[in-house]
Amino acid sequence: MTAVVTDEDKKMKKNIALLAGGYSGEYVISIQTAATIEKSLDKGKYNIYKIIITKEAWYHESEAGKVLVDKNDFSLIIGEEKINFDCVFIAMHGSPGEDGRIQGYLDMLMIPYTTCNAIVSALTFNKSYCNKVVKDFNVVSIANSVHLIKGEPYSMGAILDQLKLPVFVKPNESGSSLGVSKVKRVEELLPAIEKAFREDKQVLIEEFIEGRELTIGVFRNKGVLYPLPATEIVSKNEFFDYEAKYTPGVTNEITPADVDTNTKEQLEAKAMYIYRYLNCRGIVRMDFILQHGTNKLFFLEVNTMPGQSENSIVPQQVRASGRTLTSFYGDLLEECLAQGGN
């Protein structure tokens, strides 16, 4: 027998806006992430309103059709009821959900949300700037790199003087490995730079570090920081590109990663240190390379809104930790609600 949900029941629960979509090529991945989160959230505790963000409109699909968001106060009017939100669960990758823009808007309205704040989101979204800050922590190695800005002159000779091939050429502010190339020969460098510039106005060129790719989630629950079990990414492709990330069978993701105790402890300690001193919030996934021969950990990047479709890495790590996605996402929401708007 189906339980009857009364209006009084709905009033007792917290109103949660689940943001999905966005303006980038990661739109489809965001929709998948939001579907996992929506399915996993406890409907007995929360009234969940999925809101799709596009450049054309911000809207919620109700039984009556599309309801546009009132951007003056980030509310919905459904029927004769005005819905204000207690918390926003951001499930957007790329802009404007991961680069600090939506966070700044919500900060102005004093509505709490589940991700890093505006300045941390903007910093971590810019790979080059984030690398410089993390390097200054002196807790992890950083690959040599060159940062290019569209419209500013650059010299192929100067780049090759500073970096040894092979290198990775990537958009500086983009996710899901869109526009990324591995360059082994000099003649491949300019086409790779042009490809990356088609995705972004800034390009990062990094020396290739040969080793094992490890990624680890970190989150805070009731004020305490926790690492999730790390994952090793073994791609059949040249590197963990868009196809490898989202095509079944192209990548073998091993969770928990088969690493020795010392490496596990180092990885967890360094990831938690970076989380703490970048002032992160919510679930953050950090990528590292364990260099062959030296066992040194090299920092790659911070993902402040990592993909969470059903088979994505974070859900794998949550399940490997012995938790359910329902309890995990519930804890993220409760942590957010406890902070209040700030």
- The CATH number assigned to the domain holding 17 equals 3.40.50.20
pLDDT beyond 80 at 320: yes
Domain count, the chain: 3
What's the CATH number where 256 sits? 3.30.470.20
Q: Is the pLDDT of residue 9 over 80?
A: no
**Quick one: 103 and 221 in the same domain?**
no
Asked if 311 and 36 touch (Cβ cutoff 8 Å), the reply is no
DSSP 125-193: HSHHHHHHHHHHHTSSEE--EEEEETTS---HHHHHHH-PSSEEEEETT--TTTT-EEE-SGGGHHHHH
103 within 8 A of 31, measured Cβ to Cβ? no
Tokens for 122, please give them: 């903007």
Note whether 136 and 222 are same-domain residues. Answer: yes
Is residue 339 assigned to a domain? no
Average pLDDT, the chain: 91
Average pLDDT over every residue of 295-321: 94
How confident is the model at residue 98, as a pLDDT?
A: 94
Pairing of strands 211-221, 284-291: antiparallel
Q: Name the more confident of 34 and 250.
A: 34
Residue 62 lies in a domain: yes
180: CATH: 3.30.1490.20
Measured distance CA(283)–CA(27) in Å, rounded: 19
For residue 44, report the phi and psi dihedrals to the nearest 5 degrees. -75, -20
Q: pLDDT at position 42, please?
A: 96
Please report the pLDDT score of residue 8 as a whole number. Answer: 57
Is the per-residue pLDDT at 239 higher than 60? no
- Give the pLDDT score at 138: 97
pTM recorded for the entire structure: 0.90
Residue 83 counted as domain residue: yes
Average pLDDT of the segment spanning 52-64: 92
Is the same domain home to 202 and 252? no
Q: Are 184 and 237 members of one domain?
A: no
Q: Any idea which of 106-120, 213-227, 231-245, 264-278 has the lowest mean pLDDT?
A: 231-245
Residue 267 lies in a domain: yes
**Cα 23 to Cα 102: distance, rounded to the nearest angstrom:** 12
Residues 28, 100 share a domain: yes
Residue given tokens 């007792």 in the structure block = 12
Let me know whether 79 and 171 are in one domain: no
Q: What are 16-50's pLDDT values in tens digits?
A: 999 999 998 889 999 999 999 999 999 999 999 99
65 and 191 in a common domain:
no
The mean per-residue pLDDT over the stretch 203-210 comes to 96
% pLDDT > 70, the chain? 91
Return d(Cα 34, Cα 308) in angstroms, integer: 8
Do 21 and 60 belong to one domain? yes
| 223 and 297 assigned to the same domain | yes
Q: Which domain holds residue 105?
A: 7-114
Are 62 and 181 in the same domain? Answer: no
What's the pLDDT at 40? 97
Asked if residue 222 and residue 135 are part of one domain, the reply reads yes
Residues 149 and 132 in one domain: no
